[in-house]
Amino acid sequence: MVSNRVKGRVNELGFDVPKRPLKVELTLFPYEPVRPYGTPAYHSPRGVRNFDPKADFARTQAKVQIEKIIRVGPERESQISSCKVLEAPVEERPAFYQSPLSLIPKNKDSKARRPPLTRKLVGKVYDNTWLPSCFVNPSPDTGYFSREHAAYAYYRWNKKTGYPHTMPQFYGGWVAKVKYGTNMTGEPQFKYVGLILIEYIDGRSIEDLCFREDIEEGYIGELCPYEFSFGISGEGNQIRRVTFDEKNRQLVIQIMLHGICQGFQLGVEHHEISPKNVFVTLKNGMV
């Protein structure tokens, strides 16, 4: 059930709540976040810091299409939706820093615009109007954006993103121009927000593969795996039936812990390692 408040805020940004095709197009401008902003001694920064909307992005901008909302609403650090690339930049940023949004042609010396990726991506938007209420820090949005971007970029630099690693592939930091309500005369208003693009994990979370017993107010019951099998998309988009039995649970936890240890070795600490944030996929591997 979605509240009217959430529906209203989502519609202001040009999105819709139901999980159906949206076909909302966004133009993305390349952006590298600055150091996190996080002191109550200063006023909230307006817009995206150190971003010049008047700069020439003709050869570096990209265009994506929002297809489905995954998680949106107030009191969230980021707004998440799936998307596909419509146009890739003519000039990509260095591959050691982020994965390109275009397909590499057979003739690598070709000057023609490269075709965009065909795989589905996930966009995570950071907008301070949606953030959890906080009386200590007036605007932590750039902090969330900067820290998460830095973690993904660092994993990418160390070649630990994408299969067979546990971290999703990283497609860079961007700025998007989004609709933000209307002014006094009814004309639409726009603003710029930070955005991260990552790989879409085609699978199910551990939370989805289980149920909880005795859920009461203030108490979350134990997580219990379902005994029946689930349909999960595998190679070639063929649906495979998988039972989340003890053997598969142990394998998933083993892979998860391996990924966490990789992060520790790089100096990155994971937060919110919860069942809803760990996904089981059959793409590019058995489990």
pLDDT 10s per residue in the chain (287 long)?
333 333 333 343 444 444 455 678 999 999 998 776 555 555 666 678 888 999 999 999 999 999 999 888 776 778 899 999 999 999 999 888 899 999 876 566 666 678 899 999 999 998 877 666 554 454 555 678 888 899 999 999 999 999 888 899 999 999 998 888 888 888 888 889 999 999 998 888 999 999 887 766 666 778 889 998 888 776 667 788 888 999 999 999 999 999 999 999 998 888 778 888 888 888 664 44
Half-sphere exposure (Cβ direction) of 152: Cα atoms closer than 13 Å: 22
Q: Give dist(CA 19, CA 81) in Å, integer.
A: 10
Query: Which token pair is 141?
Result: 């949005």
What pLDDT does residue 286 have? Answer: 43
> What's residue 215's pLDDT?
65
| Residue ending a domain, choose from 199, 234, 254 | 199
Q: Report pLDDT for 67.
A: 92
For residues 177 and 53, give the distance between their C-alpha atoms in angstroms, rounded to a whole number: 9
For helices 141-157 and 246-266, what crossing angle results, to 10°?
Answer: 100
The reported pTM is 0.81
pLDDT at 230: 84
Pair (224, 88) in one structural domain: no
Q: In terms of domains, do 14 and 125 share one?
A: yes
Other C-beta atoms closer than 10 Å to the C-beta of 251 total: 13
The reply to whether 159 and 245 lie within a common domain is: no
Question: What total of structural domains would you count in the chain?
Answer: 2
**Same domain flag for 187 and 69:** yes
Does residue 20 fall inside a structural domain? yes
* CA 156 to chain CA mean position, Å: 15
- Beta-sheet strands, E only, within the chain: 24-30, 62-71, 79-87, 121-126, 170-182, 188-199, 203-205, 210-212, 223-225, 230-233, 239-242, 279-281
| Shared domain check, 76 and 186 | yes
Task: Assess if residue 287 is contained within a domain.
Answer: no
Non-local (6+) Cβ contacts of 167 within 8 A are: 152, 155, 160, 161, 259, 263
Nearest to 144 by CA among 194, 190, 191: 194
3-state helix, strand, coil in the chain (%, to 5): 20, 30, 50
β-partners of residue 121 are: 83, 199
Enclosing domain of residue 41: 4-199
Q: Which of 147, 150, 139 is nearest to 43 (CA)?
A: 139
* Six-digit token string for 42: 């200063």
Residue whose pair of structure tokens reads 């240890």 in the numeric block: 261
Which residues, other chains included, contact 157 with Cβ-Cβ below 8 Å and sequence gap of 6+? Answer: 96, 97
Query: Which of 142, 170, 174 lies closest to 154, judged by CA?
Result: 170
Same domain, 151 and 263: no
126 & 214 share domain: no
